[in-house]
Amino acid sequence: MATRIKGLFAGAFDAFVASREQQAQRYVNGALLMLDDATLKAHGYSRDELKKRSSSYII
């Protein structure tokens, strides 16, 4: 029984962490989109790719 409860909480915690990671990634992508194209390119980013990633959900 204790293992089941531990598994339930571990699963809920994993889902919570995944959700927060997705939220953080969307926030970072939004912040990066405020930069100009030359700066993005210098750091290896593409505006189009950031726009795709900021509007999609990773499952």
pTM of the model: 0.68
Q: What is the pLDDT of residues 14-58, one digit of tens each?
A: 999 999 999 999 999 999 999 999 999 999 999 999 988 876 554
- pLDDT for the residue 53: 83
Q: Is 1 or 16 the better-scoring residue by pLDDT?
A: 16
Q: Is 29 or 5 the better-scoring residue by pLDDT?
A: 29
Place of tokens 């795709």: 52
**Are 22 and 58 spatial neighbours (Cβ–Cβ below 8 Å)?**
yes
The single-letter DSSP state of residue 50 is H
- pLDDT for the residue 56: 57
Strand, helix or coil for residue 8: helix
